[in-house]
Amino acid sequence: MASTAITPTRMVLNQLKGRLKTARRGHKLLKDKRDELMRQFMEVIKQNKALRTRVEEGLTAAFASLQVASSIMSPEMLEQSLLYPRQSVELSVKYKNIMSVNVPEYSFTTKNNDPSEIYPYGFAQTSGELDDALEQLAKVFNDMLELAEVEKTMQLLAEEIEKTRRRVNALEYSTIPSLEENIKYITMKLAENENATKVRLLKVKDMVLQKAHNFTY
Domain of residue 125, CATH code: 1.10.287.3240
Segments forming the whole domain that contains residue 136: 10-173
* 105 lies in some domain: yes
* 200 lies in some domain: no
The neighbouring-strand residues paired with 108 are 91
* 2 lies in some domain: no
The neighbour count for residue 126, using CB atoms within 10 Å, is: 20
Domain count across the chain: 1
Residue-level pLDDT at 76: 82
Can you tell me the mean pLDDT for 163-184? 95
Residue-level pLDDT at 2: 58
Confidence of residue 4 (pLDDT cuts 50, 70, 90): low
* 205 lies in some domain: no
* 5 lies in some domain: no
Q: How far apart are CA 20 and CA 2, in angstroms?
A: 14
Integer angstrom CA distances of residue 84 from 121, 179, 192: 8, 70, 89
Q: What are phi and psi of 8, to 5 degrees?
A: -80, 75
The neighbouring-strand residues paired with 103 are 96
Can you tell me the mean pLDDT for 152-172? 96
Residue-level pLDDT at 173: 94
Confidence of residue 49 (pLDDT cuts 50, 70, 90): very high
* 64 lies in some domain: yes
